[in-house]
Chain A
Amino acid sequence: MARILHMAALVALAIVVAFPVYWMIVMAMTPLGFSRQITTIIPTNLTFDNFASLVVERPMLRWLWNSTLVATLASGISLVIGLSCGYALSRLNFRGSYIVLVLVLASQMIPSTSILVPLYALFKDLGLLNTIQGVVIGHISLVLPLAIWMSKGFFDSLPEELEGAARLDGCSRLGALWFVAMPLVTPGLAAIFVYGFVTSWNDFLFPRHFVQSENLWTAAAGLTSFRGEYFTLFEPQMAASIIFALPVVVLFFFLQRRMVSGSLTGGVK
């Protein structure tokens, strides 16, 4: 009996989670303008026209490419900076390191909506408005604080002796980081990258406000272009949403194996 209840609960939960996804697919495959008239759970009249229209009528591919570029750059740069900052904060004892950490954390607590206007003014002076670089820099500011904290955490979990041993074995400090510490925190690096990528990919605020020309929009900003003043093109929007969500899912599956830790066991004690 308990097992049946258990199963029933799981099934119910699965339906709650999966149904919106399912309905997104159904709507994406409904002919334009007919989504409000669907009366059954299993639709009959299916079409791929909405997907085609994304490419033909809108620069969806261009937006996806922009998104990929922005997310990869923002996440990659944050990873490199976060890694070096986190390593320094974890390994070097310097005056004020704690204050640096707290300040970094504090900057993470500021909601991005509240820095939108100052950033806009700043980017305007720097000539970064309406550029991809501007969006990348904006996104780095969103990702970096947590990237620093995460990487500090990963390095803290590595015993210092490993790098000590490497340095006695002929490595410089940088060599010890490269040959010993880095390979051991790979799962962490993957996690930081995924976090940065998803944050940047999903962000709507910065690309929508810093970029005017449609050609430079990211997909997240592009998604809103289906919403007009008086009506919304639900079907193509759902189709765009599917295509928008896919890369992140693929990336996650791809990096998931790397994120599984456990490679550290056995080195010490």
Chain B
Amino acid sequence: MAEIRINRLRKAFNTFEVVHGIDIHIQDGEFCVFVGPSGCGKSTVLRMVAGLESVTSGEIVLGDRVINDLPPKDRDIAMVFQNYALYPHLSVADNIGFPLRMRGIDRTIIRKEVERVAEIIGLRDLLERHPRQLSGGQRQRVAMGRAIVRDPQAFLFDEPLSNLDAQLRVEMRTQIRELHQRIRTTTIYVTHDQVEAMTMADRIVVLKDGRVEQSGSPLEIYDRPANPFVARFIGSPSMNLFTGRLGEQGLVLKDGAVLPLVRPFGSHDEAVYGVRPEHLDIVEVGTPGSLEAVVAVVEPTGAETMIFARRDGQEITATFRTRPTVKAGERIALKPDTSAVHLFSGDARLN
């Protein structure tokens, strides 16, 4: 096990730079999730850590070694790929034992290790099968088995769950988490799914266009997003964002409506006002500091009720643990909880 430090890392394909000098420090034993929209460079960074992609400039340090120019086989890193990348011509046992075989380890020891790992991932009965005879979830577990059998310094996961159906995905999520709690190997996990990021990570690194937007624990990022992009990207349903000018009482929208703030932020600058769907309350129409909107859709999920409303062409989402009795087409007023408001100016957070 070891910490991973990524210093001023850049990647360019020919003259086109896709990763612009990022710094990430992952502690020993940490489960770190890289999350971002497609094309943000998260997989490229992961492949550079693995050694499958060359480093243009910067440093990748694993433990106390700079591994920039080491071939992948000498990095002591294991990776689970999105499409599993199992060896189709080998049985499950041989797939899991492959890394050991490549190290020239004795057959009987390999056999024992494979059985030990098969026990952990629950595939004891399937060792003689071939990958084509397995379900998606089982293949995923074989890929994980192949990674843990080596006892590497770090695990890399490249969107490992995106090929599974929704239910299996939730199941595997828990299993990967459990596995990590058990073996505590430093892990980098790449996903575009912010729910996976929130539920699995010790730490989330939000990436966009080859830059780190924010890095921190899931709740830190959820509660204090550093900029409008993170605010919108993390959380489902997304945060409501309103653009307006700062005034004495709060943020003044174009149509004159005022969104309240706990304290004035001075000037008449343009700003973005963010409020999460769960921080909106239905109040009587006309209440000061509330926004009037027309209900478009009501979605009860049982535990929560989601209301999509529209105002001036802008969508507003609100979720409630209670079950409000509103109907589509109704005119309602929504009032933000001022203690949970996020205020941004340009790319920076104001409050």
Chain B residues 87 to 108 lying within 8 A of chain A, measured CB to CB, are 87-89, 98-99, 102-103
Per the 8 Å Cβ criterion, residues 61-77 of A in contact with B are: none
In angstroms, how far is the closest chain A Cβ from the Cβ of B97? 10
- Closest residue of chain B to A264, judged by CB? B88
Instruction: Check if A169 sits within 8 Å of B99, measured CB to CB.
Output: yes
Whether A164 pairs with B73 at a CB distance below 8 angstroms is no
Contact across chains for B130 and A266 when beta carbons are under 8 A apart:
yes
Segment of B131-139, B185-193, B305-313 engaged in the interface with chain A: B131-139
Known: A266-B131, A269-B163. A167 touches B73 (CB 8 A): yes
Flag if B52 contacts A162 (CB, 8 Å): no
Q: CB-nearest residue of chain B relative to A162?
A: B85
Taking a contact as CB atoms under 8 Å apart, the answer to whether B51 and A184 are in contact is: no
Given the complex, which residues of A lie within 8 Å of B150, measured CB to CB?
169
User: Quick one: which of B103-162 are within 8 Å of A by CB?
Assistant: 103, 130-134, 136, 139, 146, 150
Interface pair A164/B133, CB less than 8 Å apart: no
| The residue from A161, A162, A168, A264 contacting B77, defined by CB atoms under 8 A apart | A168
Q: How far is it, in angstroms, between the C-alpha of A44 and the C-alpha of B300 when the chains are bound?
A: 91
CB distance from A172 to the nearest CB of B (A): 6
Residues of A within 8 A of B87 (CB): 162, 165-166, 180, 267
Cα distance A161–B78 in the bound complex, in angstroms: 13
Q: How far is the CB of B342 from chain A (nearest CB, A)?
A: 39
Would you call B88 and A168 a contact (CB within 8 A)?
no
For chain B, the bracket of interface size reads 20 to 34
For residue A175, which residues in chain B have a CB less than 8 angstroms away from its CB? 73, 102
A195-226 interface (Cβ within 8 A of B)? none
A269 touches B84 (CB 8 A): yes
> What sequence of 0s and 1s flags, for each residue 35-78 of chain B, a beta carbon within 8 Å of any chain A beta carbon?
00000000000010011100000000000000000011101011
Q: Is B86 an interface residue (CB 8 A)?
A: yes
Query: Given A159-B85, A161-B81, A183-B89, is A266 in contact with B133 using a C-beta cutoff of 8 Å?
Result: yes
Say yes or no for B83: interface residue by CB 8 A criterion.
yes
Indicate the member of A168, A170, A265, A269 with the most B CB atoms within 10 Å.
A168
- Residue of B83, B88, B132, B139 ringed by the most chain A CB atoms within 10 A: B88
* CB pair A184 B102 closer than 8 Å: no
The chain A residue sitting closest to B158, CB to CB, is A161
CB within 8 Å for A269 and B83 given contacts A169-B98, A172-B71: yes
Whether the pair B79, A164 counts as a contact (CB closer than 8 A) is yes
Q: In the complex the two chains form, what is the Cα distance from A165 to B52 in whole Å? A: 9
Which partner residue on chain B sits nearest A183 by CB separation? Answer: B89
* Interface check A80, CB cutoff 8 A: no
Q: How far is the CA of A200 from the CA of B132 in the complex (A)?
A: 38
**CB-based contact A265/B88 at 8 Å:** yes
Q: Once the chains bind, are A161 and B85 in contact (CB under 8 Å)?
A: yes
B79 pairs with A165, CB closer than 8 A: yes
> Is there a chain B Cβ closer than 8 Å to A268's Cβ?
yes
The listed residue (A159, A170, A184) touching B83 by CB distance below 8 A is A159
Residues of B within 8 A of A265 (CB): 88, 132
A248 located at the interface, meaning its Cβ lies under 8 Å from any Cβ of chain B in the complex = no
Chain A residue, CB-CB nearest to B98:
A169
Q: Which residues of B contact A184 (CB under 8 A)?
A: 88-89
Decide: B51 and A167 in contact? CB cutoff 8 A. Answer: yes
**B242 shortest CB reach to chain A, Å:** 42
> Which of B72, B86, B134, B136 meets A168, CB within 8 Å?
B72
A139 vs chain B, min Cβ distance (A): 31
Q: Which residue of B lies closest to A175 (CB)?
A: B102
Q: Name the CB-closest residue of A to B52.
A: A164
> What separation, in Å, do the CA atoms of A168 and B77 have in the docked complex?
7
CA distance A175 to B79 in the complex (A): 18
How far apart sit A17 and B150, CA to CA, in the bound complex (Å)? 59
* Contact indicator A170/B99 (Cβ below 8 Å): yes
Assuming the A-B contacts A165-B81, A167-B52, A168-B79, are A268 and B86 also in contact, with contact meaning beta carbons closer than 8 angstroms in the complex? yes
Residue from B51, B73, B82 in contact with A170 in the complex, judged by beta carbons closer than 8 Å: B73
Residues on B with C-beta less than 8 A from A164 are 47, 50, 52, 72, 79, 81, 85
Cα–Cα, bound, A267→B132 (Å): 7
Closest A residue, CB atoms, query B81: A161
User: What residue of chain A has the Cβ atom nearest to residue B136's Cβ?
Assistant: A269
Partner of A165, one of B85, B130, B133: B85
- The answer to whether B81 touches A170, judged by C-beta atoms less than 8 angstroms apart, is no
In the complex, 18 of the A-B residue pairs with CB atoms within 8 angstroms, ordered by the A residue number, are: A164-B81, A165-B81, A167-B71, A167-B72, A168-B73, A168-B78, A169-B150, A170-B73, A170-B99, A179-B98, A180-B87, A183-B89, A184-B89, A263-B88, A265-B132, A267-B86, A267-B131, A268-B84
User: Other than the known A164-B52, A167-B71, what 8 A-B pairs have Cβ atoms closer than 8 Å?
Assistant: A164-B47, A166-B87, A167-B52, A169-B102, A170-B103, A179-B98, A180-B87, A268-B86
Q: Top 10 nearest A-B pairs by Cβ distance?
A: A266-B132, A267-B88, A170-B102, A268-B83, A266-B131, A161-B85, A169-B99, A165-B85, A167-B72, A265-B132
